[in-house]
Structure 1
């Protein structure tokens, strides 16, 4: 599978390193779409990829799928265009908090028969949440996120609950800190019904996420403690791995958890 990536940050570099240098499952990054060709010349040389700053030329460069690995603004600008020609993996999940954009993506994908893939990112249990809501009988979902206090600009000793409310409210108030609530809401009962607690804690050094859900199926609890990427402390290693895992799932004829 030949991959095109929008963006050239830490996750894009991780994907190139794992595919180009370690020859993972016949996956290869062929093309990068970037704003500044000059800035990324060395990156292209290091990983043997071709740079583009024209989206149409990028999409026509012989790639099979596009990974959006830039930011929310780039996702909103380019994903609809991408879907006219290719399937896409969206990493900047925050873009889908905009309901109008989410609906646009759905409609364009449907019109051109191209799928949109959303990696689970920094959390797990998304398949279980989807399955539990298969008949619309998932009753409640609570995400409790605990992060180092300094990541919220909080100068406290111990812990402080800084937010309790719906995922919709959490996304609005903490757009850079609570992307996990978006994928959880999309998989389950929506942004208005998914509840979120956010705790700033001076005693922790990593991000902790706990998911609790109840319904006619029973109840479940998942807990994840995330290590950051070595190259980017603001991105969890699991988020990067979930992108690579999605690409690998698309390659195999045995689909686990789908």
Structure 2
């Protein structure tokens, strides 16, 4: 499968190393959409890619799927246009907290027979959540995220501090770089207005820790994920990067697990 990449930050370069440099047997990144070709010119020699600044030329290339590895603003600007022409995978799912964008994207994907793929990112259990909500059996979804205090507050604190408690739509508004996980859980489950979120700054930890609690007619479940950082960028979880690569590997497969 030929992949077109939007963005070339930590996750983008992780994908280039794992797919192109390591010669993945089924995947190849051939084209990258960037804002500044001079800044990223080295990627052409390092990974054998073609750089684009024009989205039309990028989409007209021989790519099968677009993978966004940029930011929420980029998704908001480009997603409606991209989904018209190519299957698309989003990393910055926080953009879909905008209900209008979500509805428009779904409409365009149906009209143009394309698909939007949303990897689970830094969490897991999305199949359980989706199964539990079948026929209205999911009643409650709660997310508690703990992060190293230095990543959330400039204060010098010695005890954990709750910096946010509310619904998912508020969490992504106040912490757009920290709460993508709340949106993917909301989309899989009860929605951004019904998903409870707590964000805690904890001076005693070095990893991001996500605890998901759900309950309904099916029973109850608790999932805890402790994320190691991505070596290329300590602010990004390794699991978030792995979820993208794993999803890409499963797309062409004939056997699906948990879907």
TM tier, smaller: over 0.9
Stretches of structure 1 lacking an aligned partner (at least 5 in a row): none
For 1:39 and 1:249, how far apart are their aligned partners in 2? 32
TM-score when normalising by structure 2 = 0.97
Q: Which position in structure 2 is the counterpart of 1:207?
A: 208
**Offset at 1:168?**
1.8
SS in 1 for 2:135: coil
For 2:101 and 2:230, how far apart are their aligned partners in 1? 29
Q: Deviations over 1:175-216 (max 9, x none)?
A: 221110000000000111111111111101111000000011
Q: Which position in structure 2 is the counterpart of 1:87?
A: 87
For 1:72 and 1:106, how far apart are their aligned partners in 2? 17
SS in 2 for 1:38: coil
SS in 2 for 1:158: coil
Q: 8 Å contact 1:25–1:251 — kept in the other structure? A: no
**Offset at 1:55?**
0.6
Q: Deviations over 1:65-113 (max 9, x none)?
A: 0001111111111111111110000111111111111111111111111
**Offset at 1:25?**
3.5
For 1:229 and 1:118, how far apart are their aligned partners in 2? 20
- Within-5 A mapping of 1:173-192: 173-192=174-193
Q: Which position in structure 2 is the counterpart of 1:107?
A: 107
CA RMSD of aligned residues (A): 1.0
- Within-5 A mapping of 1:12-23: 12-23=12-23
**Offset at 1:17?**
0.9
Stretches of structure 2 lacking an aligned partner (at least 5 in a row): none
- Within-5 A mapping of 1:189-200: 189-200=190-201
**Offset at 1:155?**
2.0
**Offset at 1:118?**
0.4
SS in 1 for 2:75: helix
Q: Which position in structure 2 is the counterpart of 1:37?
A: 37
SS in 2 for 1:150: helix
Instruction: Spell out structure 1 runs of 4+ moving beyond 2 A.
Output: none
SS in 2 for 1:40: coil
TM-score when normalising by structure 1 = 0.97
Q: Which position in structure 1 is the counterpart of 2:240?
A: 239
**Offset at 1:221?**
0.6
SS in 2 for 1:85: coil
Q: Which position in structure 2 is the counterpart of 1:57?
A: 57
Q: Which position in structure 1 is the counterpart of 2:142?
A: 142
SS in 1 for 2:163: strand
- Within-5 A mapping of 1:94-173: 94-153=94-153, 154-173=155-174
Q: 8 Å contact 2:14–2:232 — kept in the other structure? A: no
For 2:166 and 2:35, how far apart are their aligned partners in 1? 38
Q: Which position in structure 2 is the counterpart of 1:226?
A: 227
